[in-house]
Chains A and B, each alone.
Chain A
Amino acid sequence: MVYTHRSPALLIIGIVILAWGWLNQSGTADGLQAWLHPGAYKEQKQDADKHQAAEKAAADKAAAEGKPAPEAKAMKPGKFDGVKQGQANFAYIFGGIFSVIGLLILAVRPKEGHLDYYISIFPGMAFILSIAFVVRWGLDPMFANWGKAAQPTLGWNFATILNLNYVVLGIVIGMIVVNVLRIPAWAGNGVRTARFFLKTGVVLLGTLYSAAELAQLGALSVVMIGVFVLGSVWLVLLAGPRINATNSMTGVLSAGVGVCGVSAAVAASPVVNAKAVDIAFTLGTILLWGVLCMFIFPTVGHLLDMGPVQFGAWAGTGILNSAQVAGAALAFDPNGIQTLKVAEIFNITRVLFLPLIVVWLAAWYVKREAGAQKVDLGKVLVAKFPVFVLGFIGLFILSSMGMFAPAGHYQGKYFSSTEIKEDKLLKEKDLAALQAALPKVAKPEDNKALQDLIANKKLDTRDQDNLLRGVAKMEGLDKGAKDALGNAHKAAWHDSKIIRAYRDWIAWLFAFGLTGLGMQITVASIKQAGGKPLIIGSIVGLIKALGSLVVVLLFVREFV
């Protein structure tokens, strides 16, 4: 079978994306970009005016002194230029790749084989990516602007509260595409790659954790997931027989509702010999709950003013379906990755529980069902093991060893005294402020750290930085000294370009993956929600969501 459809779609998408790159590069799209990014545009315009005024003043001064006019300095690119250049770069890379492969598809008749299969995924990937571009570059800033504009009238920012950001919009558009417009035949294979890219996003997230953070989050997630996963599996296994649900229905429902939603139901169905109707009812129920939770959880999180750890822990525990955990975390906090980091640790813990739960269910089913085929439990454990988690752990280890940024970095930020540039050394004004503050610092080790800073005009060690961070919070310290300490701290901390690039890629991978997963949520399958699974699933889902919310609000504090 030949998978590649000989369609001009990929070439057209590639050319459109390239054209967008050119429009940004040439400045033709400046009007539109200024409308989408008014803050960045205004800031850059002010900087340009200041720069021009400074240039003019320097030229006038030189003229007054009878000196030749100083050479005009180029202005540093501002945030607005950064936005345009970033989009242009992305558009050139992906537009170029898609155009070349699009031409190849039209020019060469594909033959059956691996190459055909790999080529066949590009049109679908381009389809998802073009939607992700429109959503992330167009709709996301547009709704953010509208939300701000309507705030004085409404009294609340509808874009923030309703989470109308690129993640939610991507999933919603994905769902509209599959349910209303239908996925074009040429895009079918590529759309299925969404799960691969989502897993890649999780693997890359491994670079952003510190060991202490991973240990803390890991411990918290094991406790919470342990209680709520095992609790809900047990609850369903208890409730099923009481309302005369069959063993296979109870088994598949307990996995789906208890562990990680659709993925768990898919994994457990064969081992509990689930009937077609059990599967349809269960998956429909989970998808219905998942989609509802994805919209409700972030809004509740904002209303309760939850922090990233609290929300990540709640979403990671309380949302039935794991795909919507990532969606809700990014919907809650689209511009940072903090909440996603917390939620994904919970997701990973859930998926690590999955093989154990499947084994438990297999044993439970064989015990209760006469004539049930025995399952090789060892084989099930190996087959269900989520290999991508090893990738996550691998990247975490490499990152901790300093492969992408110096060891000891946190989310790509690291301390280095030797990398402090000359122009970042403390100025005379700062030194004078610190000198004046010296008598107020009573503790000998703090005083010594401050003296060293004054002597060297920069921080030398991380310990010194820690001591002086404490000093900066001292009451009675004047603003000049506090600012000087802040400047010294900022100068000594650097941002790893590799990790920064990873963060950007992670956001794109999740945007791509979640838009693609949205294209796999059909209303027809959600409509199958019904029967006993809907009753039990709704009760247990509600208990889990509310129970985990109470636990999170009472016991979980922000520590990241």
Chain B
Amino acid sequence: MATGLAPRTLLLAHHGTAGAEQAAALALSLAVPGQTRIVHLYVVPDFWNGMQGDDWLNNAWTRDAFGRHVEGQLQSEAQEQMKAVAERCAAQGIECAPRLAYGKPAECLLAAARECDADLVVIGPPRPKGTPGLRSRMDLDQLARGLGVPFMVATAR
């Protein structure tokens, strides 16, 4: 930690959901301009690996076109979110470092926390059951056991 309770490197997991917005608000409330650097982790979940499913009728050209399309979509969504968080940080004078990862959310978060030497991790609350959205939840148990630094879960409103 830097002075007082202000974190030096705060790792924020954010991918544009309502819960992630809570996490961003919490992170920004904890960050201190000039002292805290927010590392924004955006995870593209690895279930996309299986998203061509058992397609067998298409030729390679069509599958490649689909792959490029999905990659393009995921990339533009990620860039949009990273830009939005960076702008909010900049508005408060907080340094922001976006980081894109592909894999299981908890594994990516653990790796990012290690690599960026985070001293606080902030994530959003689990999505309430029945809320529409992609099924790629953060494994809180894995996170609690694997993280060597404090982590905060933003409360659901």
Contacts and interface: CB of A to CB of B under 8 A. Distances in A.
Interface of A: 178, 194-195, 198-199, 260, 262-263, 266-267, 269-270, 273-277, 279-280, 283, 286-287, 290, 321-324, 347, 351, 354, 383-384, 386-387, 513, 517-518, 520-522, 524-525, 527-528, 530-531
A386 B62 CA distance: 10
B50 A384 contact: no
Contacts of A194: 56
Given A270-B65, A383-B61, A387-B59, A287 B135 contact: no
B65 to A, nearest CB: 5
B73 A276 contact: yes
B152 interface: no
Nearest to A324: B54
Chain B interface size band reads: 20 to 34
Contact of A517 (B56, B58, B59, B74): B56
A518 B61 CA distance: 22
A189 to B, nearest CB: 14
A525 B70 CA distance: 14
- Top 8 A-B pairs, shortest CB-CB distance: A522-B50, A524-B47, A195-B56, A263-B57, A525-B50, A270-B69, A262-B53, A517-B54
A525 B69 contact: no
A387 B62 CA distance: 12
Given A269-B69, A276-B70, A276-B77, A351 B53 contact: no
A87 to B, nearest CB: 28
B52 interface: yes
Contacts, number: 108
B56 A322 contact: yes
Contact of B58 (A266, A286, A290, A321): A266
B132 A525 contact: no
Q: Which of B55, B61, B66, B77 has the most CB of A within 10 A?
A: B55
11 contacts: A199-B56, A263-B55, A263-B57, A270-B69, A279-B51, A279-B70, A324-B54, A354-B57, A383-B59, A386-B57, A524-B45
Contact of A521 (B53, B58, B66, B135): B53
B56 A525 contact: no
A520 B54 contact: yes
A80 to B, nearest CB: 36
B81 to A, nearest CB: 12
Contact of A266 (B45, B46, B47, B63): B63
B5 interface: no
Contacts of B51: 279-280, 283, 525
A269 B74 CA distance: 13
Contacts of B74: 276
B107 to A, nearest CB: 14
